[in-house]
Structure 1
Amino acid sequence: MKDLLSRVNISDLDTGRYIDNLTNAGTGLPRVAIAISGGGYRALMNGAGALAAFDNRSTNAAETGHLGGLLQSATYLSGLSGGSWLVGSLYVQNFTSVESIIFATDGFLSTLWQFDHSILNGPEGLSITRYYRQLFDDVDGKKDAGFNTTITDYWGRALSYQLVDPSDGGPAYTFSSISNDTDFTAAQAPLPLIVAIERTSGQLQIASNSTIFEFNPWEMGSYDPGLEAFAPLQFIGSNFTNGTIPRNGECIAGVDNAGFVMGTSSSLFNQAFLQIGRVEGVPEFLISAINDTLANVGTNNRDIANWPNPFFGYNSSGNLNANSTVLALVDGGEDLQNIPLHPLLLEEREVDVIFAVDGSADTATLWPNGTAMVATFNRSEARVSANDSRFPDVPDQNTFVNLGLNQRPTFFGCTNGSNTPRGPLIVYMPNAPYSFQSNVSTFDLEYSDEERNQIIQNGYNMATMGNGTVDSNWPACIGCAILARSLVRTRTRIPSKCADCFARYCWNGTTNSTLPNTYEPAQILTNTTEQSTSSAARISGTLLLGCFAFMLAI
């Protein structure tokens, strides 16, 4: 963090001395979190671009004025649905970098994220029959071991062939095994948090006050009222009753398969996976098995993931699933909170700033309009959980569009230095067409390497504002956002550079709730030196190429 802040050039603050003083005083460094939204492959790729911009391992990202190191400065990194695919995939590869995957030309990493091979057809080099036989055998083995299975089991196994290990889907990879990885144990990586939502028996509509679950490498559970409990993720398959395993019981490991965790957070895609009957070559035994699974759970439950319930018999007065041995979880975005902000609002986590990367498709033209922010604000205002910090005020979705807040970064929760901040500062970073029209459909399941790289590049440009082309002071403003809450706590004078940043990027309470026209944004950056060059030619071995040649579109 000290290195990052020294590079972003907050001209009238000695950030090195400031950080040293915080360390020496024992008051704690600013606590940073990053949240990656849902939205299928679009969200994965958009979020990957942002993480590449924040990663000091990316080419040139640690140079003056760049944002490399923000990822390494973060304490938490949360993801849900498509965002969970990004977080999970990077962490099961020992917190590898985005560049290491997309620019690998040989070796294991080069086989990941090959989205030109649809998840419905399986990876290159594996016949469709063999692919589906392995899916079937893995899920059938889980069923034979006595565990409930749903469509999510098949979906999670399929995801693993793109995100974990294309040869066999990595059936032995567990999310809890991340706790043993080198970078994680050395505190070189943020704590990853994957979000899902509890669905009680008979519930079809996911309410805004539904219990939100999180998975981290050590445990799963919820801080929400009624449950407020966690269980060890590694042994989640054990026979828990009232919070304990019987004295003669066994500790059962392996249920927290990494693909199943990611599949649980993205169970909305079960519907897409059910289209396999239209894919040529899918063996009949697999279609029959899926139909049997649907018959067992019912078509209304096609989006659930059944977990052994470690909270069986626990807190029966408030725990809605206390009497069930099965815990049903669904896609983390089904309550419209499509950015996984909830676990980062826990007061005990003392988060100062959240970089909220929004790859949602809210408008008719598949761009964000702040719906996820509004949903989290509404839940906060309802005070569903007393354990959470208050979420800052945000405007309605029409205002997001009418004021262009869905086309550029905006700070929510700013303070003028005299009032007490309400929760963490939120740096809202929406997907927008900086260098590519990245508003692809959530349910598009196939992308060429060129399209993949263009969307990742666009996410990089979104996070860096075209490496400062849109605003040369943007890196300094990122630094000011990191320090904002700390400056108030320490009663430090707000640097003039930060005051200028807050004046430009903080939402000032203005609203315009009139119904906007169809939202069709123009590309923000244009390449003035290669107007006739194809988009494919602008992809290179570094995420930075082309950014310096971009100019603002008029």
Structure 2
Amino acid sequence: MTQLQSLLASVSVLSLLSVADAWSPTNSYAPAKVECNGKTGLTREGGKISDAETSWLAKRDPVTSAALKSFLDRVTSNFADNSIVEQIFSQGAPKAGYAACGGGYRGMLLDAGTAAAMDERTPGANEYGLGGLLQGITYITGVSGGAFYTSTVAYNNWTSVQDIISQMNDGDHSIWDLSNSPLNPGGSDTDYTNQVFADVQTAVQAKHDAGFKVSLGDAYGLICGYYMYPSLPQGGATYQWSDIQEVDAFKNGEMPMLMEVTAIVPPGEKTAGLDATTIELNPFEFGSWEPSINAFSDMKYLGTELSNGNPVNDDECVLGFDNVNFITGASTDVINYIATQGNAVYTSMISQFQTKFLGNITTESVDTNIVSPNPFKGTSYYSASQGDSLVETENLRLVDGGYGGQVIPLTPLMRQERNLDVVIATDNSYDTPEIWPNGHSIISTYTRQFHDIGKTDAFPYVPDTETFAALGLTETPTFFGCDSSNLTDLAYIPPLVVYLPNRMYSYSSNISTYTFTYTKEERLAMIQNGFEIATRNNMTDDSEFASCIGCAVMRRKQEQLGLEWPSECEQCFERYCWNGTLASDLTSISSSTNGSSTTTTTQDDASYTTELTTLTSGENFSTIHFETSTTITCHECEEAQATATAEVCGECEEGQVTTTIECEECEEAETQATVTAECEECEEAQANSHHYTTTTSMTTTTEACEECEEAKATATSTSNSNNNSNGSSNGSSNGSSNGSSSGSSNVSSNGSSNGSSNKASSSVPTILQVTTALPTSSAFSIVLNENAGNNVGVTTGLTLLAIVGAFFGFM
């Protein structure tokens, strides 16, 4: 162990040993039966937050109020009149939440970058980011990969991403040292791997011997602990979820409340879907707001046999069941996914895992996290329409909370009982073959409120995936629910949602969920790209973006108090709010095909025009991203019609055509754009005789001619360049992609990136500034990276082979 790691270990352990009474009573992973000391009523009816949470809020609210006031004063200092801040705070501060999306290690690292952008502890976050906003957040939620991020920072004494970066290394088993896969945590150090696996086997056996049901979910969570809590003995095998109640940063209200989400596999089913009941895991309670349960149980006493909330055995309770790795594992478990694919090789893998970690233990469910006894047994708070299956079953089988499609953990933050005003939500979902989001996750949460299981929820209106694509809503931040007067048909007025989808700025962050190894450089690059997603490329795409976030934070209070809305906020909302337009509302004006691209221009009731360019992927093209769209509008005059004039490419020296689009009535709206031209007079530029690799980085398409160095066809999407030629937003986005980055990323035919970006180097916080290539550090990383070759059909098979190969090669 290095000197730094030894120091970190001593600091972390000493700080936790001060609350040693909160550790597992057996000083191991095994829970223990203890006296209840007269405790009854360990399960309560839902419908309100707990008394413990209410008491905690009394400490947290003054902290968040001061932080948000400071943040809003700073980001509105450029307003002509920012007196609205004082007016709002004279009546009570807004409340904010942060939802950290799943997506394996991809989600964890990108979520960390977003948090770093909001954290005043990150150097440069105030100047180039949203510094101070994280200090003003009341609740933070995580699911799947997002739960890796939230658990890590919360249960390491609310450490900062900056602190994790400062001690980040390869091969020293520091926090998030992902240089080796969980299938082989020691890499070439076989002694370390053998010791980890032996400790995990011993821990699982001890829990079983104590009389509690176990599964591979226990082993999975324990292994993950070595990556999140490396300074604690056996990766936190004796550390409990409810222990955070005794940590000073939490007790004093100095950090947000962490909540994670898991889903219950219905009795008789193999996995969870959109209608499956979700469980909220917070520091105080384990429970569900949903009508199938509508109850919460004391987290500290999870594992106690209860009937209608009271101990079945007189004065016998259980402590130590809520291990931090078991709880986080329940929110992130991918074992169930592997086990339910019906693939013979996957089935063999599960069998081998079972032999490795469970030995001769007989288990009722190999692939889920088992909570038994059921803390809701005998309760009667559920809705008759849902039946009593979940309150009568002996065991609750838990899986990754994103399995039903809700990969963004929004539901706990939407609850009316918590009265939030705004939620910052990342989307790192794997929705497209290219591993980018398409809006499916946020649509799932929106849709679920109209199902019986979600009838007590509310969520702002969002469009379908076709509209997300047509309006470019996954290319820039979008605000949903900007006008509460349009939400009165919902169960209640939900918070405004700031949607931050994954996209590439300085790094190709569309890395497969099943990539299990990242070098230090790759991890830093992912975190930096997350920082840039949250800040619109360090405020270079829109220098007023921080102000716009400030407007989103204030909006609900402004509406409730009837305060005058600043003109600066009005302009922000024109740029970032989705205005209800759907793809089906768009009228096609024209469609033209030019070589490898088709351009379709659409318009909705003459308020704006959208031009969508689609590159056709033929056998000579490897297309990484093939759709771009933007909104063009003339702010200054309604009568102006955009017209285009083309300059003929005379000698075709560069193979380009320059098109000028100008607003006839408004000189300031004049823009220029570069589009692809097939130069028939230049043999070198003929696409039919050469092989090209086409990559679109949201706004810029680069075609690299493999066989002819002299011929380079560079295409910049016309509509996407319009709003970026002068670095300002001159169009009403209505949630679309105006103001998108104009930076390109040149990618060669083998799919490797040079990591280039057009951002100013001075705009990046030093600690986050990393320029690196696509992950190529190890064979395991390469095979699992589904960017390689961009062939999903092939790489899915390679992913399977890599997992199997790693398993049989290392275990």
Please indicate the TM-score interval, normalised by the length of the shorter structure.
Answer: 0.7 to 0.9
Report how far residue 180 of structure 1 moved: 1.4
Distance between the aligned counterparts of 1:332 and 1:416, measured in 2?
29
Q: Indicate yes or no: 2:212 matched with 1:144.
A: no
Q: For 1:441-452, what aligned pairs fall within 5 Å after superposition? A: 441-452=512-523
Distance between the aligned counterparts of 1:88 and 1:324, measured in 2?
29
Distance between the aligned counterparts of 1:347 and 1:13, measured in 2?
34
Q: Indicate yes or no: 2:104 matched with 1:40.
A: yes
Report how far residue 89 of structure 1 moved: 0.7
Q: Indicate yes or no: 2:378 matched with 1:313.
A: yes
Q: Indicate yes or no: 2:697 matched with 1:522.
A: yes
Report how far residue 465 of structure 1 moved: 0.7
Q: For 1:274-293, what aligned pairs fall within 5 Å after superposition? A: 287-290=355-358
Report how far residue 512 of structure 1 moved: 2.1
Report how far residue 209 of structure 1 moved: 2.5
For 1:132, the aligned partner's letter is F
Q: For 1:117-516, what aligned pairs fall within 5 Å after superposition? A: 117-123=180-186, 127-165=192-230, 168-246=234-312, 248-269=314-335, 287-290=355-358, 296-297=363-364, 302-315=367-380, 318-382=387-451, 384-388=453-457, 390-415=458-483, 422-512=493-583
Q: Residues 342 and 128 from structure 1, CA distance in 2 versus in 1: closer, same or farther, beyond 3 angstroms?
A: same
Report how far residue 168 of structure 1 moved: 1.4
Distance between the aligned counterparts of 1:476 and 1:9, measured in 2?
6
For 1:12, the aligned partner's letter is F
- CA contact 1:10–1:480 (8 Å) conserved in 2: no
Distance between the aligned counterparts of 1:384 and 1:14, measured in 2?
45
Report how far residue 272 of structure 1 moved: 6.1
Report how far residue 371 of structure 1 moved: 0.4
Q: Give the structure with the larger strand fraction.
A: 2
Distance between the aligned counterparts of 1:272 and 1:95, measured in 2?
33
Distance between the aligned counterparts of 1:474 and 1:285, measured in 2?
48
Report how far residue 229 of structure 1 moved: 0.8
Match of residue 8 from structure 1: 75
> Looking at CA atoms only, which structure, 1 or 2, has the larger radius of gyration?
2
Report how far residue 189 of structure 1 moved: 1.1
Match of residue 281 from structure 1: none
Report how far residue 14 of structure 1 moved: 5.4
Q: Residues 267 and 285 from structure 1, CA distance in 2 versus in 1: closer, same or farther, beyond 3 angstroms?
A: closer
- CA contact 1:102–1:113 (8 Å) conserved in 2: no
SS in 1 for 2:392: coil
Distance between the aligned counterparts of 2:357 and 2:484, measured in 1?
60
Match of residue 551 from structure 1: none
Report how far residue 122 of structure 1 moved: 1.6
Match of residue 33 from structure 2: none
SS in 2 for 1:395: coil
Match of residue 552 from structure 1: none
- CA contact 2:498–2:552 (8 Å) conserved in 1: yes
Would you say how many aligned residue pairs link Structure 1 and Structure 2? 531
For 1:461, the aligned partner's letter is E
Distance between the aligned counterparts of 2:506 and 2:405, measured in 1?
28
SS in 2 for 1:399: helix
Match of residue 549 from structure 1: none
Percent identity (aligned):
35
SS in 2 for 1:193: strand
Distance between the aligned counterparts of 1:113 and 1:285, measured in 2?
23
- CA contact 1:239–1:249 (8 Å) conserved in 2: no
SS in 2 for 1:33: strand
For 2:464, the aligned partner's letter is D
Report how far residue 319 of structure 1 moved: 3.8
For 1:400, the aligned partner's letter is F
Match of residue 93 from structure 1: 156
Q: Residues 13 and 326 from structure 1, CA distance in 2 versus in 1: closer, same or farther, beyond 3 angstroms?
A: farther
Distance between the aligned counterparts of 1:541 and 1:123, measured in 2?
31
For 1:348, the aligned partner's letter is E
Report how far residue 323 of structure 1 moved: 2.1
For 1:4, the aligned partner's letter is F
Distance between the aligned counterparts of 1:174 and 1:407, measured in 2?
40
- CA contact 2:156–2:229 (8 Å) conserved in 1: yes
For 2:210, the aligned partner's letter is A
- CA contact 2:241–2:324 (8 Å) conserved in 1: yes
Distance between the aligned counterparts of 1:437 and 1:42, measured in 2?
11
- CA contact 1:79–1:193 (8 Å) conserved in 2: yes
Report how far residue 38 of structure 1 moved: 1.1
Match of residue 736 from structure 2: none
- CA contact 1:332–1:338 (8 Å) conserved in 2: yes
**C-alpha root-mean-square deviation of aligned residues, in Å?**
3.3
Report how far residue 40 of structure 1 moved: 0.3
Q: Alpha-carbon deviations, 1:34-53, whole Å to 9, x = none?
A: 10111100000110000000
Q: Alpha-carbon deviations, 1:55-81, whole Å to 9, x = none?
A: 111112234x63111111111100101
SS in 1 for 2:583: coil
For 1:398, the aligned partner's letter is E
- CA contact 1:132–1:286 (8 Å) conserved in 2: no
SS in 2 for 1:168: helix
Match of residue 79 from structure 1: 142
Q: Residues 9 and 141 from structure 1, CA distance in 2 versus in 1: closer, same or farther, beyond 3 angstroms?
A: same
Distance between the aligned counterparts of 1:414 and 1:62, measured in 2?
25
Q: Alpha-carbon deviations, 1:429-450, whole Å to 9, x = none?
A: 0000011101010111111111
Deviates more, 1:514-523 or 1:191-200: 514-523
Report how far residue 127 of structure 1 moved: 2.0
Distance between the aligned counterparts of 1:47 and 1:269, measured in 2?
23
For 1:395, the aligned partner's letter is P
Report how far residue 21 of structure 1 moved: 4.0
SS in 1 for 2:149: helix
Distance between the aligned counterparts of 1:110 and 1:51, measured in 2?
23
Report how far residue 411 of structure 1 moved: 0.7
Distance between the aligned counterparts of 1:334 and 1:386, measured in 2?
20
TM-score, structure 2 normalization: 0.61
TM-score, structure 1 normalization: 0.87
For 1:463, the aligned partner's letter is A
SS in 2 for 1:35: strand
Distance between the aligned counterparts of 2:569 and 2:245, measured in 1?
37
Tell me, which stretches of 5 or more residues in structure 2 are unaligned?
1-67, 347-351, 587-611, 616-622, 627-695, 699-740, 746-752, 772-811
For 1:150, the aligned partner's letter is S
Distance between the aligned counterparts of 1:54 and 1:189, measured in 2?
13
Distance between the aligned counterparts of 1:336 and 1:116, measured in 2?
30
Distance between the aligned counterparts of 1:542 and 1:259, measured in 2?
29
SS in 2 for 1:369: coil
SS in 2 for 1:504: helix
Distance between the aligned counterparts of 2:88 and 2:277, measured in 1?
36
For 1:147, the aligned partner's letter is F
Distance between the aligned counterparts of 1:288 and 1:414, measured in 2?
52
Report how far residue 10 of structure 1 moved: 5.5
Distance between the aligned counterparts of 1:184 and 1:477, measured in 2?
30
Of residues 39, 58, 61 in structure 1, which corresponds to 2:125? 61
Match of residue 179 from structure 2: 116
- CA contact 2:330–2:399 (8 Å) conserved in 1: yes
Higher RCO, Cα 8 Å, sep 6+: 1
